[in-house]
Amino acid sequence: MVLFWRLLLAHVIADFPLQTDAVFAIKKEKRWGVFLHGTIFGLVAILLARRWGIRLVYSVHNLNPHEQPYPAWAGLVNRFIFRIAIERAKSHSDRVGNFQLQFSLHTTDPILRRQIIPVDSWSMAEIADYGREFYSPGDRKITLNFALAKGSPLEPSTLKQHFHPDLFLIKITPLNPTYRAQQNNLSSHIDPASNDERIDLVDKIRNAGYTVILSIGEQEENKIGSNCGQYLKAHVDSESEMEEGYTYPIRPLEE
């Protein structure tokens, strides 16, 4: 409950006193404005959540079919913030078991991964090296997240080359319906309504020795247009329809 109030306070601080007229104008007019506002909130949240013993989760995530691409420097800033947060947590003696780290990879094909994540990012070898450095006995396993599109390989043999099952677990999620995914002809490998492909894929990874989390969220979020990677302005500006998402009618706010 303490964490809830601290994060709520972080939202209030980032949304009001720190969201000046200038920041609001940038957020409204520039494509990187949302990233700026999110960075401000993230820094405030990190400062307010410094009561160790609270479980912290940091997700390193940038999937190309997001609706609003970030500029190239965003990856460098994200890496800088990531290093500060992680190193601060590692230096605290009570962090064991209370800090969960997640990396989003999306495929084990390194060439395809560079196309999916066209920003400055760690290779699988670099992620594995940092994971081994970060992990201590008693820690939660480091999560490797795969929002799998059709045609994006997830090969156990490649995973085993880099990531030891004792240190890393695999999380598999559907690829959410977004307009950028539609533009790039990407569709989800995991069908939330079907069990067949899910079971085969999960069994293959588990047989390689990994703990596997199959994360299927509430599909109502896709219909609302509020799920990860969805961007309402893209729906408003789009001239095409999307059957899998954004199905709720949009009504103007009354004056």
Per-residue pLDDT tens digits for 65-96: 344 455 555 555 555 555 555 665 555 545 55
For the cut 90, the answer to whether the pLDDT of residue 191 exceeds it is no
Q: Are 106 and 116 in contact (CB under 8 A)?
A: yes
Domain boundaries, the chain: 1-51, 55-237
Task: Report the largest interatomic distance among the alpha carbons of the chain, rounded to a whole angstrom.
Answer: 59
Is there a contact between 174 and 193 (Cβ–Cβ < 8 Å)? Answer: no
- Asked if CATH classification 3.20.20.70 holds for the domain at 55-237, the reply, yes or no, is yes
Of 108, 120, 173, 178, residue with least CA distance to 145: 173
Q: How far is CA 110 from the centre of its chain?
A: 19
pLDDT (tens digit, 9 = 90+) per residue, 97-153? 666 788 989 999 999 998 887 777 789 999 999 888 888 888 889 999 999 899 999
> How far is 204 from 208, CA to CA, in rounded Å?
7
